[in-house]
Amino acid sequence: RRSNAVRALSAAAAAGALLVAPAEVSAFAPATRLARTVPLASPSHSRLFAEGGRDKRPEDASASDPNPGGLSEWSTGSDDGDSPSNSGGFLDTLQAWAQSPEGRGDIQTYFFSLTLALVLRVAIIEPRYIPSLSMYPTFDVGDQLAVEKVTKRLRPFERREVVVFNPPQAFKDIVGSSRTGKEALIKRIVAVGGDEVEVKNGGRLYVNGQLQDEPYTAENAEYEFGPVEVPFGNVLVLGDNRNHSLDGHIWGYLPVENVIGRACFVYWPPWHLGSEGLY
């Protein structure tokens, strides 16, 4: 009888376990499979019920999560950008570039170009800008032209050539020191050393007694000048706009050593491009 009672109690307990198991997991799973795969009283379940239905995080949760919040890898310094990794960044980058083969090549190219430009500017050719109408119609205000400096050492100056020069002392005495500074002037040579020059007969130019054909002038001069003889080592220069030019008929002769160079061509604006009227 006792063994029969024990077997009856065991069967009843098993039946009760089968009836409770589906309600804990899912109402759609077979009771026998769930009873085999899902433990009814696991350690986590025991802790869950013991702590009021919430699974609390362990106190050392940060040890199990190497990057809590997902932000620790974004910044290693302060928010204002003053972290040690940023200090001197530009100088370090510049130094690294200068020491690289590409940087050294760029530096060499830069200094070579600069040296070549300076040599060209000082000894061979330089740009000039026309600020006034004293040489109109050959040049207009704003024209930019190239002035070459080589041929002045190779051949003497000739009549009709347009030259750029540093003003002589007589010019400075007339206009005062406030206007001169580093100012350079541009005029046309009308006579060289040893020539006899005269402006007469309605403002026409005569050199050594011969009337000069000057298609580049704006109009005949409204003054008379000479006759005078140009000293050797000097030239006489006049503006093509004869009545609106402060030139040699006022301040005298130009020493040839004051000449910077010959105007060779206009390069700006494009519609004035060329060398017409410069020789």
Cis preceding-peptide flag for 30 (omega within 30 of 0): no
Q: Two tokens at 95?
A: 């130094």
134 is catalytic: yes
For residue 244, give the amino acid letter: H
Please report where in the chains the tokens 């910077």 appear, as a residue.
260
Structure tokens at 109: 């190219």
Determine contact, residues 189/196, Cβ cutoff 8 Å: no
Instruction: Tell me how far apart the terminal alpha carbons of the chain are, to the nearest angstrom.
Output: 145
Q: Which two structure tokens, joined as six digits, stand for 271?
A: 């519609």
Q: 3-state DSSP call for residue 213?
A: coil
Residue from 46, 134, 245, 275 carrying the catalytic annotation: 134
Cβ atoms of residues 17 and 40 within 8 Å: yes
Nearest CA among 119, 185, 110 for reference residue 149: 119
Number of H helices, E strands in the chain: 9, 11
Show which residues are catalytic. 134
